[in-house]
Structure 1
Amino acid sequence: MPAPAHPAPPLPEPLRVPVADSHTHLDMQDGTVGDALAKAASVGVTTVVQIGCDVERAGWAAEVAAAHPSVHAAVALHPNEAPRLAEEGGPQALDAALAEIEKLAALPQVLAVGETGLDYFRTGEAGIAEQQRSFRAHIALAKRLGKALVIHDREAHDDVVRILREEGAPERTVFHCFSGGPDLARTCAEHGWFLSFAGNVTFKNAQPLRDALSAAPPELLLVETDAPFLTPAPYRGRPNAPYLVPVTLRAMAEVKDLSEDELAGHVAANTARAFGYEPRP
């Protein structure tokens, strides 16, 4: 039988200090949830935050978090989902979906509202107004429920920051898959917003991301896979999964000139603080 075209990367050396994958999509990965969690735990990734990006996936995320103590859920309408709903069903369709997200976000196993925000890469001018309306609604929801806010920001840095300032960001705000440069990193640090770095920080062309990481304080850093996307080098193009967090964390430690254990300690404490849970051993 021929080998798969894109075999899964090998298990990395286990971390000595356990950490969390602050953002993953288990529903988009091959294999069972149990297998993914066991594989991750075997290399020191003992907690994952499962993201639900539409009503159906948000419900799945809440169910998985209820069934697995090492999984926490975040639920929202992805920025690209908001204009799609409004285009297909009008403003009332977006309102109905937001109401369903609110019900799920109130569940105890759901620790965050996200990923929400702005994505100007795939949304044209016609969809921006609904995207911004949805973002504002999610900010209000996170504050109303006392949950963390997880932000998706793609080619929209200025508007994301502006809206956060206008609405008043929740006390715990996470920039998922941080995509800005040092200036945005410094803005996040000024406001106490968390910066979560994914595997793209290891890419050859990602020097601006590494410069942002250099500028970010260790007490605000998180690590994530965004799996199955953004597999870190040297495995780019192969499937990503939570067990590959150590690859990205080690690259981050080099950039920060910190030991692996020191950065892992920061990341573990920061993720628990950002999402409001007790760290797992």
Structure 2
Amino acid sequence: MAMSKTRGQRAGEFPPSPPPLPIPVVDSHTHLDITVSEAGVPGGVTELITRAADAGVDRLVQVGVDVETSRWGVAVAAEHEAVVATVAIHPNDAPRLPDLDEALRQIEALAAHDRVRGIGETGLDTFRTGDEGRAAQEASFRAHIAIAKRYGKPLVIHDRDAHADVLRVLDSEGAPETVVLHCFSGDAEFAAECVRRGYVLSFAGTVTFTSAGALREAARVTPLKQMLVETDAPYLTPMPYRGRPNASYLIPLTVRGLAETTGADLDELCAAISETGDRVFGPW
């Protein structure tokens, strides 16, 4: 099935479809709304879901980054059985909101919905948020941890250049039962710390980048039962299509890259990712 591109903000055409996976897996972190609006998908969400299923990616986690996108994700998850949602205020947005407490109240109200299967993406980002916004960002992170614990839902963490502080806050608050490190970006030492705590590491297309040797070392120390894969679409497109729009149907490139990196049998890796996806976010 060909997927064309309408005029959008993200340059380039969608890459061709890779061979499908032998066992279907979950895309643990995607932004269907941004993919449609920025990359341009004439068939919208339905086209993205269909193309993903054809590639062996039969479950998608639509991730919220503010109140509006969180509400949108809940509505899409209610309409499409292949999709579940997470809800949150993105860490880079938290310092910019005129009333963070009110936004958090709205996120908590959404958290009760059955199709909401995670709280995130929340966390810390010292790359885009300066010193002046750090206190609000951390307060928001702590509030999301509390929401995840109250509702018994997994916490989906955005961590950019903040590894030690993420662990500090989680240890201070007491982590929810299930924690997912979205787009894991640490080295083997940080991965080992996360694995020891029982966290799940979700690897994006970045693990296939030529420059990502440290990230591949991290993947090698991650047990298969604590590993997920994601697109973060429309961003982080795996090699050899880095820079072009990403979508869930390209997950097989990342999975095969992980199999090569870890030495895992492809069928075994797919089965483990599928099982972990259901354990963390399911049942669909």
Q: TM-score range by the shorter chain?
A: over 0.9
Q: Deviations over 1:174-194 (max 9, x none)?
A: 000001001111111111100
Residue 81 of structure 1: aligned partner = 93
Residue 140 of structure 1: aligned partner = 146
Aligned equivalents of 1:253, 1:168: Cα separation in 2:
33
Residue 251 of structure 1: aligned partner = 257
Equivalent residue runs for 1:208-219 within 5 Å: 208-219=214-225
Residue 34 of structure 1: aligned partner = 46
Give the secondary structure class of the aligned counterpart of 1:50.
strand
Aligned equivalents of 1:183, 1:169: Cα separation in 2:
20
Residue 161 of structure 1: aligned partner = 167
Aligned equivalents of 1:7, 1:195: Cα separation in 2:
29
Matched, 1:48 2:48: no
Q: What displacement does 1:271 show?
A: 1.1
What's the RMSD between the two structures over aligned residues? 1.2
**Count of aligned pairs between the two proteins:** 270
Identity score, percent: 54
Matched, 1:17 2:15: no
Q: Output the TM-score relative to the length of structure 1.
A: 0.94
Matched, 1:58 2:59: no
Q: Output the TM-score relative to the length of structure 2.
A: 0.93
Equivalent residue runs for 1:110-189 within 5 Å: 110-189=116-195
Give the secondary structure class of the aligned counterpart of 2:118.
strand
**Consecutive unaligned residues in structure 1, runs of 5 or more:** none
Give the secondary structure class of the aligned counterpart of 1:227.
coil
- Indicate which of 216, 230, 233 corresponds to 2:239: 233
Q: What displacement does 1:94 show?
A: 0.2
Q: What displacement does 1:278 show?
A: 2.6
Aligned equivalents of 2:113, 2:283: Cα separation in 1:
17
- Indicate which of 206, 225, 229 corresponds to 1:223: 229
State the one-letter code of the partner of 1:242.
S
State the one-letter code of the partner of 2:225.
E
Question: Which 4+ stretches in 1 moved above 6 angstroms?
Answer: none
Q: What displacement does 1:237 show?
A: 0.8
